[in-house]
Structure 1
Amino acid sequence: MPESGAGSGPNCREVAVWLDDFLDVARIEDYPFALNGLQVDGRGAVARIGAATDACQATIDLAADAGCGILLVHHGLFWGGLRPFVGPAYERCRRLVESGMGLYSAHLPLDAHSGIGNNVLLAAELGVADVEPFGSFKGNDGIGVIGAVDTSRRELAARAEVVCGRAPFVIAGGPERVSRLAIVTGGAGSMIEAAATAGADTFLTGEGNHHTYHEAMELGINVIYAGHYGTETLGIRALAKRAAEHFGVEHAFFDIPTGL
């Protein structure tokens, strides 16, 4: 297999320092175990930057086999908190260490980024105009976006299927003609009321709980669940491209859709 660090390029820590600054990681509070930043150090030079939505065995193996010196992910290794390095957790870290590949995670800092964040890029793909920041989480304002559209609910859902790679689940609680759309990628079903309060007639996110059906119907707002994975691929792709351009190296995206 190709070994990470072959050829010339920056090292993992140099890439991580640039990413930390570009994403303003220090400013954005996140879940306790998100651990945004460099989660596993690498060795040698980074000649290729890999990207994936999730830090799972499949993406780590693909990136290591492709000779990536660092893998950028949206969902990192430590969501479950402290636990022994046994079983799958050990195997993921073993492959990283043995391949010499580093791992960098960017969760909310990537969601909220005004240039290449998941939300602004998804809004652009869906044709949203006059985009403004929307939503607050853990004191971070503008983790999502809101803006104007002029389309039918059916057409919007069809476009979301193309962009996100799976047929969305639609709660038809609002008007058939959509004029104002709020977006928070990932698992933001808890933000339906906030979207309605902000004046959106339609809210798009990845997934939500059972009770959100009734919440949407009672608030009179459409909800489009387009998939947690599917709504969170654009940002990490763009981040890898931007970092690779900055350092003058190659980049690749490793797509392992979950269907969820």
Structure 2
Amino acid sequence: MTASAPTVARAELVRWLNEYLGTTRFPDRSMNGLQIEGKPEIRRVAVAVDTNLRTIQDAVDAGADLLITHHGLFWGEPLALVGPHRTRVQEALGANLNLYTSHIPLDAHPEVGNNAMIASALGLQNAQPFGSYRGFKIGVKGDLPIPMSLQDFADRLQRLTGEICLVHGGGPGEVRRVGIISGAASESVVEAAAEELDTFITGEPKHQDFALPFELGVNSVYIGHYESETFGVRALAAKIEETFGLPWQFIHVPTGL
């Protein structure tokens, strides 16, 4: 006899997510947690970086009862249900799809967070919290086990993400001490310099921060906002499977940014 697929009550899984991620711990413009309530029972999970019509439809097509994203639909301000926003919400409600979002909590998580997973993939040693955000450390810093040239380091990141990196080589030609903050944290190269790191990784640059790496003597490597934030949702989904036995699927909708 074939064993039936596991089923987890939505309330139980949401409770576990809130506790595991520390969902209410961080000040955040994102409305973290359950954003749309759908089916009361979860049998399959989908995860994605962004919540948009494509990721919602792909999650539904994959048979998911719960979609977990890093960027949700609600950001702490009233938003009228018109245009694309209405269509996205209507699509999720029509499919009875649950939507759960974790923004800063998933960046900062020490086990499955974006920054922790990038640090792990790079094999950083002596990993420590790094990168201040409203009184919390949400990034990671550490040492490469073997120093490498900046070019080799950028090539390694390119193989890791599958995207070409943008390198602002303001620092030394050899990479030893690295700081990581996923997303759009180019201004945090200032903190990297203050902590005597030679290289800083984030997702995307901001125009006003262009000169900072060169003026501070720190390399900034931009691996793409989207690509820097694929790590956490996938690691979280694997943790859910390990804990509850629920199958999952990553919905890959790259933005090129």
Where on the TM-score scale, by shorter chain, does this alignment land: which range?
Answer: over 0.9
Does residue 249 (structure 1) correspond to residue 243 (structure 2)? The answer is no
- Secondary structure at 1:51's aligned position in 2? strand
Counterpart mapping for 1:104-253 below 5 A: 104-140=100-136, 142-149=137-144, 150-253=147-250
Counterpart-to-counterpart distance in 2, 1:102 and 1:77:
12
Find the counterpart in structure 1 of residue 13 from structure 2.
15
Equivalences, count: 252
Q: Cα offset for 1:71? A: 0.4
- Secondary structure at 1:26's aligned position in 2? coil
Given that 2:6 and 2:245 are in contact with CA atoms closer than 8 Å, whether structure 1 keeps it comes out as no
Given that 1:11 and 1:42 are in contact with CA atoms closer than 8 Å, whether structure 2 keeps it comes out as no
Find the counterpart in structure 2 of residue 4 from structure 1.
none
Find the counterpart in structure 1 of residue 49 from structure 2.
53
CA offsets 1:70-128 (integer angstroms, 9 cap, x no match): 00000110238322101110111111111111000001111111111100110111232
- Secondary structure at 1:187's aligned position in 2? coil
Given that 2:6 and 2:244 are in contact with CA atoms closer than 8 Å, whether structure 1 keeps it comes out as no
Counterpart-to-counterpart distance in 1, 2:52 and 2:197:
35
Change (3 A) 1:124 1:8: closer
Counterpart-to-counterpart distance in 2, 1:89 and 1:8:
33
Q: Tell me which of 71, 77, 101 is aligned to 1:75.
A: 71
Question: Following TM superposition, where does structure 1 have runs of at least 4 consecutive aligned residues deviating by more than 6 angstroms?
Answer: none
Given that 1:166 and 1:226 are in contact with CA atoms closer than 8 Å, whether structure 2 keeps it comes out as yes
Given that 1:133 and 1:143 are in contact with CA atoms closer than 8 Å, whether structure 2 keeps it comes out as yes
Counterpart-to-counterpart distance in 2, 1:231 and 1:162:
13
Counterpart mapping for 1:38-49 below 5 A: 38-49=34-45
Counterpart-to-counterpart distance in 2, 1:46 and 1:80:
27
- Secondary structure at 2:41's aligned position in 1? coil
Q: Cα offset for 1:8? A: 5.6
Identity of counterpart residues, as a percentage?
40
TM-score, normalised via structure 1 length: 0.93
Given that 1:8 and 1:45 are in contact with CA atoms closer than 8 Å, whether structure 2 keeps it comes out as no
Given that 1:207 and 1:226 are in contact with CA atoms closer than 8 Å, whether structure 2 keeps it comes out as yes
- Secondary structure at 1:130's aligned position in 2? strand
Given that 1:44 and 1:100 are in contact with CA atoms closer than 8 Å, whether structure 2 keeps it comes out as no
CA offsets 1:34-82 (integer angstroms, 9 cap, x no match): 0110000112321101100101111100001111110000011023832
1:91 maps to a residue whose letter is T
Given that 2:149 and 2:174 are in contact with CA atoms closer than 8 Å, whether structure 1 keeps it comes out as yes
Q: Tell me which of 84, 89, 92 is aligned to 1:93.
A: 89
Q: Cα offset for 1:255? A: 0.4
Given that 1:48 and 1:244 are in contact with CA atoms closer than 8 Å, whether structure 2 keeps it comes out as no
- Secondary structure at 1:136's aligned position in 2? strand
Q: Decide which moves more: 223-232 or 123-132.
A: 123-132
Change (3 A) 1:8 1:99: farther
Give 5+ residue unaligned stretches, structure 1. Answer: 1-6
